[in-house]
Amino acid sequence: MKYLYLLLLSILSGAVYAQQCGTCGNKPKIAMYELDVQVPKPESEGNNASNSWLDLHHITSYANSRLFEINKNCVSFIQALSISDKKEVELQLGTITQPRLPQEGNLSQMGTYQYDYIVTGSVQQQGTSYVVNLQIQNACNRNTIASVSIPFQATSEYKSIGEQAANRLSPLIGKINEYEFNEREENMDNKLDKGDNEKIYPSDATDMVKKRLTQYLQLSATVDFDAVVKDRRFVNPEYEKKSSDWKMCFRAGKEVNEAAREFAKEWLKEL
């Protein structure tokens, strides 16, 4: 229902799916970094405290594995890269105690890799307990799109904690669509004065609504939901030339569009 609502809002606003930095593809591209464990390492090794500290670093793999499992059909997960001191883009191979962490600033273009969003977070100690923070950020401006915090005890099952965080942050595509819609609305409002705003969003919006609904019905009828996508691009080159609105309908899926079309038809009858 939420995807249907967002799709209809995009139809009525005449919004175009796009990002100002990064790239627009068939699926959002997300780099999965690891959690920054901000807990001091115990001085003694080999005891329970040391083992527990090492286990904190495993929460990353549990969380990221669960995120991939839940969201793999709607977003593209890409290997996280870093920039070396030599300003060269390189694969950042993390270890248990030296995780792959995102650098500050714009990460949307890393060599030949392009990211739309990144997954990152931390594990922090609060007294005798801990809290894991997991979030998704815009790779370009580093705005946080959504985040979750899960408090837990040292005696907790860390696999369960990582999976809980991933479950609460999902579905990623829902958070991304909502963020992009809000960004488009904000950018449009900033560009328009009151006179322009009245032209685009008139006080009597009946004609505008009819126009948007009709345009959507015409456009969505042309979408091939069985189109094959390979390496984040349509196999049929003609589909790559389609408008952003066409691709937005494709990303929403056949089921959502069928429901939206029925809703649009009934709405038109009432206008």
Q: Is the pLDDT assigned to residue 269 strictly greater than 50?
A: yes
What is the Cα–Cα distance from 109 to 140, expressed in whole angstroms?
A: 8
**237 vs 88 pLDDT, higher one:** 237
Q: Find the mean pLDDT for residues 12-40.
A: 65
Q: Is the pLDDT assigned to residue 117 strictly greater than 80?
A: yes
What is the Cα–Cα distance from 193 to 195, expressed in whole angstroms?
A: 6
The whole-number pLDDT of residue 152 equals 93
Q: Is the pLDDT assigned to residue 99 strictly greater than 80?
A: no
Q: What percent of the chain has pLDDT over 90?
A: 34
Q: Is the pLDDT assigned to residue 13 strictly greater than 70?
A: no
For residue 173, the one-letter residue type is: I
Q: Is the pLDDT assigned to residue 89 strictly greater than 60?
A: no
The whole-number pLDDT of residue 17 equals 35
Q: Find the mean pLDDT for residues 175-202.
A: 71
Query: Which domains are assigned to the chain?
Result: 2-20+176-270 (no CATH), 29-169 (3.40.50)
Q: Is the pLDDT assigned to residue 45 strictly greater than 50?
A: yes
Q: Is the pLDDT assigned to residue 91 strictly greater than 60?
A: no
Query: Which residues make beta-bridge pairs with 150?
Result: 132
Q: What is the mean pLDDT of the chain?
A: 80
The whole-number pLDDT of residue 242 equals 87
The whole-number pLDDT of residue 194 equals 55
pLDDT-based confidence at 265, cuts 50/70/90?
Answer: very high
Q: Find the mean pLDDT for residues 242-269.
A: 88
**128 vs 170 pLDDT, higher one:** 170
Q: Which residues contact 260 (CB under 8 A, 6 or more apart)?
A: 4, 7, 8, 11, 216, 220, 252
What is the Cα–Cα distance from 80 to 100, expressed in whole angstroms?
A: 8
Q: Is the pLDDT assigned to residue 69 strictly greater than 90?
A: yes
pLDDT-based confidence at 22, cuts 50/70/90?
Answer: very low
**107 vs 46 pLDDT, higher one:** 107
Plot region of 53 (φ>0 → left; ψ -120 to 50 → alpha; else → beta): alpha
Q: Is the pLDDT assigned to residue 238 strictly greater than 50?
A: yes
Q: What percent of the chain has pLDDT over 70?
A: 75
pLDDT-based confidence at 21, cuts 50/70/90?
Answer: very low
